[in-house]
Amino acid sequence: MLFIVVMWIIEILSAVALVAFAIGVLSGPKTATAAVHKAPIIHHKEEPVPVKEEEPHHLPEIVEHIDAQEADEMLSDELAMEFVVVEHEGHRTIGLKGHVNLGDIDKVFKSGQVVTLEKLKAKGLVNKKIKRVKVLADGVLNKPLMVKAHGFSIQAIKMIELTGGTVVKLK
């Protein structure tokens, strides 16, 4: 007799659980997203908004010589970064990282030359063991150069660009 009562209670509890589950499913989730009301969709016939084309950004006038402070005053960081050329080396360069100042580069390179890590090593501006180089803005730059390096300070980028040179960031 006790067995029959226990089975009857289990059946009742199962039925109650099933009804509770059904009520929960039918009433929807009780989350914050259920309370969100969507606005009705109203279709208006609108004319397309003309897209205003941005004019290409231009650097200020080219200067004959510049230092980091003048470069900061003449050119914003954002505009300077738009003119940086990224060049992929085809492999990941690991190893010792060195740095070189633009003032030192200016002393040993001629106008229009391409500055590379190999040329910096050959001219004794960086150690021969260096595998990656960062160009810093110490000194004055008096000529346009194409400088290829793994890193640049933002002032160095500005100085190179404002003298008519090109910044090539190696990746």
pLDDT of residue 65: 85
- Cβ-based burial of 139 (10 A; exposed 0-12, middle 13-18, buried ≥19): middle
pLDDT of residue 34: 46
Q: pTM score > 0.75 for this model?
A: no
Query: For the sheet containing 97-101, what is the strand order?
Result: 97-101, 132-136, 151-152
Run of H or E residues at 98: strand 97-101
50: β partners: none
3-state secondary structure of 167: strand
Per-residue pLDDT tens digits of the chain, which is 171 residues long: 777 777 778 888 777 776 766 666 566 555 444 444 445 555 455 555 455 455 556 677 888 889 999 998 999 999 999 989 998 877 777 889 999 999 999 999 999 999 999 999 999 999 999 999 999 999 999 999 999 999 999 999 999 999 999 999 998
pLDDT of residue 47: 55
What residue spans define the domains of the chain? 68-170
pLDDT of residue 31: 47
3-state secondary structure of 20: helix
Statement: 68-170 belongs to CATH 3.30.110.30: no
